[in-house]
Amino acid sequence: MGLFNAPTPERMTLTLRVMAHLLSYPDATLHGHLPELREALRSERALSASRLSELDALIDALEGGDALDTEADYVELFDRGRRTSLHLFEHVHGDSRDRGPAMIDLAQTYEKAGLYLGPDELPDYLPAVLEFASTQPPKEARALLAEMAHILNVIFSALLQQESAYASVLGALIELAGEKAQAVTIAPDEPIDESWAEPLAFDGCSSNGQAKPGTPQPVNIVRKSSATQGAQP
């Protein structure tokens, strides 16, 4: 993917927070806030009209769908496939031992910015990453999105393959990164097994490129060196 001539939004704080909510589990709390999320997107105007229209369609589907069906569809989509996983380090580290230290470093980065995760939340969960990005100035937030744009595009492509309206959220994030959302070739999806679903033990030394615990750590999300990621156009 290359840069394209998209307008650079002066503000994206509200939009990033809306994206975080839309990618979260669609429980009753989320349903109750959907009108506010729609209004926040329109008021900040960080996205193109076409992206806003797509996100309107997603919000309409969430508002009008049966609650149990919506929740079941979300679990099937995001929790049972690797290519659509919202845990970014799954796309970077997979099941390797590097994932634990990277998690620790990322959580410490959040804490330094005043963002503390709940006991059951993992720092590489995309909604958590977006909440963190929303606390940063627009330039830094845009740079963070650009750094993980290759991962976002893989998830975007997998969602397109499944004809999911959630692809609009990933497309919007790629647009905010200053990139063009376009489908890439990806390998067929594999189910995430039960052993991966359990939290990994955080052991071992910090991985290459990650800071030691207790020291400032920039968010480093690098491309996974595997042919299964697919070729970038």
pLDDT digits (tens, 9 = 90+) for 157-181: 999 999 999 999 999 999 999 988 8
pLDDT at 2: 33
Distance CA 133, CA 172 (A): 14
Residue 55 corresponds to which tokens in the numbers above? 């996100």
**Per-residue pLDDT at 196 exceeds 60:** no
Predicted confidence (pLDDT) per residue in 61-105, tens digit: 999 999 999 999 999 999 887 889 999 888 775 565 666 677 778
Structural Rg of the chain based on CA atoms? 17
71 touches 29 (CB < 8 A): no
SS3 125: strand
CA dist., res. 167 & res. 184, Å (int): 13
103-134 exposure pattern, b = at least 16 Cβ within 10 A, e = fewer: bbbbbbbbeeeeeebeeeebbbbbbbbbbbbb
State the average pLDDT for the chain.
78
Q: What is the pLDDT of residue 53?
A: 96
16-59, pLDDT tens digit by residue?
999 999 999 999 999 999 999 999 999 999 999 999 999 999 99
Record the pTM. Answer: 0.74
**Quick one: pLDDT at residue 118?**
80
Q: What is the mean pLDDT of residues 126-152?
A: 92
